[in-house]
Amino acid sequence: MRRYLFSTGLFSAILSGLALLRSMREKEPFTWRTALAWLSWGISVTLAVGAAVDTRRARRGREVAEDSPIAPKAEKLYKKRLDSARAS
């Protein structure tokens, strides 16, 4: 579980969210640029979580969507899991 919570994509999305929160404390007005920044942050978090879920599915031998960035590596991850299971 730790592997997925501390993935680089999710970590960077959380840090950018913290930067957005700090900017909200400075009592600046909420503009359309701020709204777009929050929308972008939401999309980044969603993509990072999706990549972590796809990686977990591939490692467990489950099907991964073809449009996932993990799809080309899914077979390799599955074989790695089988090899580690055999070694145990």
Say which residue, 30 or 88, is predicted with more confidence. 30
Tell the residue number behind the tokens 């950018």, with chain if given. 16
Could you read off the pLDDT of 37-87 as tens digits, one per residue? 999 999 999 988 888 888 888 777 777 777 777 777 777 777 777 777 777
Q: How far apart are CA 60 and CA 83, in angstroms?
A: 12
Q: What is the pLDDT of residue 36?
A: 94
Could you read off the pLDDT of 60-70 as tens digits, one per residue? 777 777 777 77
What does the DSSP 8-state code read for residue 45? H
Q: What is the pLDDT of residue 4?
A: 62
Using DSSP's 3-state secondary structure scheme, residue 11 falls into helix
Q: What is the pLDDT of residue 72?
A: 77
Model confidence pTM above 0.75: no
Residue partners of 30: CB distance under 8 A and separation at least 6: 24
Query: Where are the extended beta strands (E) located within the chain?
Result: none
